[in-house]
Structure 1
Amino acid sequence: MKLYAQILYNRAHWIFESEERPEYDDSIVLVDITGRGDVKEGWDYDSKTGVFTEPVYEPVEPIEPQPTQEEIQTQTLLNTEYLVIMSELTNL
């Protein structure tokens, strides 16, 4: 059995075994990876060098959760009450 990788957008999209190379349309790129068992689906493929590399992802900064409509309304109400109380205290 031979091991093949279907290449899609310069990545190993699908890895499968077959007795012989399947005949598909020319737009489907298949690479024989027999003996290269370290290649995994999702790995980057350089068509010029024929080398597969594990993808490197940049760390993503966590996104602060946005307040809900209810939280915004509650904060607005609290701020308004605070200002009213402060105004009443200064008028004493």
Structure 2
Amino acid sequence: MTRPVHAIDPDGPPDRKSVLFCPACDHRSPIEGDWTVRERATSVEYRCPDCEALLTEREREQLPITRAWSAWVRAASAWLKPPKRLRA
């Protein structure tokens, strides 16, 4: 049995689950719409194309080897730092 397909009225209200709204200028568009997407090393930013406001920043999925390397670097950096001196 197939599910019925509902036509979307372009002049009707947007489906809130599939539309992002800019909090700064009220620009709205689907997640796949005209948002400016900036890929960073560990995250992806979604910005408004009109006012450049940050809508959301999502972490990128990392490979297990990348996570292990990052943990090792953090541990080695913490171990190699000189200890903080206590005030007398």
TM range, normalised to the smaller chain?
A: 0.3 to 0.5
- Looking at secondary structure, tell me which structure has more helix per residue: 1
Max Rg structure: 1
TM-score, normalised relative to structure 2: 0.34
